[in-house]
Amino acid sequence: MTYQKENFQPLNSTDHANLRVKNISDCGHLKNCNNSVIIAEEITDIAANCPVVLLKDEESGRFQLSALFGLTPSENLFINESGQWLGTYIPVNFNIKPFSTSFDDSNNEKSLVIDVNSPAISTESGVKLFEGNAESSYLIKMRQQVEMIIDATVQTEKLIQELVNRNLLCEFKLIIEGLTEQPEIIEGLYTINADEFPYLTSDDVFQFHQMNYWGVIYAMQNSMKQFKKLVQIRNARYQDSKIKLTIHMDKESD
């Protein structure tokens, strides 16, 4: 099956009155998803499967807590040839597809959007999104689910800001040998800067305990070990082009 590039649009009864959502039995449509934005609440489950990092939007400077599923762009090592998910946990951001959220910088609000190119979208079969001008019961439930995720996203963003404010993030690079003649270098990845722990005040430590941040922090740290797992999966799948991975930490990153 050929999958089209995502095309998210603000959901409304005028433009999407005839759209329906079909049940997709496999995850083949995620095969090119190298990463997914996640929320802090799911980090423990995700960290048991793959690396959890922070990706920085160069335009806004905003960090996003993300799960990595591959080592190169458009590579998802957790999808097999049959389109089945190989991990023990699927991020909520994938479970709500074809829906997602969109951030509006002008009013600092998030809204519900839909990927009209998703293989789950149809005009002939599936569950209706609208009954006339009114939202269907299915869409109401999905909106409620997405709103819960939005609330959790706000809390995750607060966590990230606390880490940034205390210089607890550092940038690192992936140096991949074996893909081309020269090593491939992947930059723009951030993780926890444990070297800054001794400089936290007692109030910082207590606040992090109160906010349950330490569990998230340690899960992020431990998830770095999952890069070895990604290499093992990739080398087993592509035995003719085995790779070697080196992680270079930049402790001087802001």
Q: So what's the pLDDT on residue 26?
A: 84
Question: What's the rounded Cα separation, in Å, for the pair 252 and 254?
Answer: 6
Q: Is residue 91 part of a domain?
A: yes
Number of domains observed in the structure of the chain: 1
Q: Is residue 32 part of a domain?
A: yes
- Note if the bond before 51 is cis, omega within 30 degrees: no
Question: What's the rounded Cα separation, in Å, for the pair 42 and 91?
Answer: 7
Q: Is residue 2 part of a domain?
A: no
Q: Is residue 1 part of a domain?
A: no
Kindly state the helix (H) or strand (E) to which residue 31 belongs, with its residue range. none
Distance spanning both ends of the chain, measured CA to CA: 44
Kindly state the helix (H) or strand (E) to which residue 46 belongs, with its residue range. helix 43-47
Q: So what's the pLDDT on residue 253?
A: 44
Q: Is residue 18 part of a domain?
A: yes
Q: Is residue 3 part of a domain?
A: no
Question: What's the rounded Cα separation, in Å, for the pair 78 and 234?
Answer: 10
Distance of CA 1 to CAs 29, 83, 119, 157, 224, Å?
Answer: 9, 10, 9, 36, 33
Q: Give the domain range for residue 210.
A: 8-250
Q: So what's the pLDDT on residue 239?
A: 87
Q: How many residues does the chain have?
A: 254
Question: What's the rounded Cα separation, in Å, for the pair 129 and 106?
Answer: 28
Kindly state the helix (H) or strand (E) to which residue 139 belongs, with its residue range. helix 137-165
Q: What is the β-pairing status of strands 244-250 and 169-177?
A: antiparallel
The per-residue pLDDT string of the chain (254 residues; one tens digit each, 9 = 90 and over) reads 455 678 999 999 999 999 999 988 788 889 999 999 999 999 999 999 999 999 998 888 889 999 999 998 889 999 999 999 999 999 999 989 899 887 666 656 677 899 999 989 999 999 999 998 899 999 999 999 988 998 999 999 999 999 999 999 999 999 999 988 899 999 999 999 999 999 999 999 999 999 999 999 999 999 999 999 999 999 999 988 899 999 999 865 44
- CB 26: neighbour CB atoms within 10 A? 15
Q: So what's the pLDDT on residue 105?
A: 60
Are the C-beta atoms of 39 and 94 separated by less than 8 Å?
no
Answer whether 0.75 is exceeded by the pTM.
yes
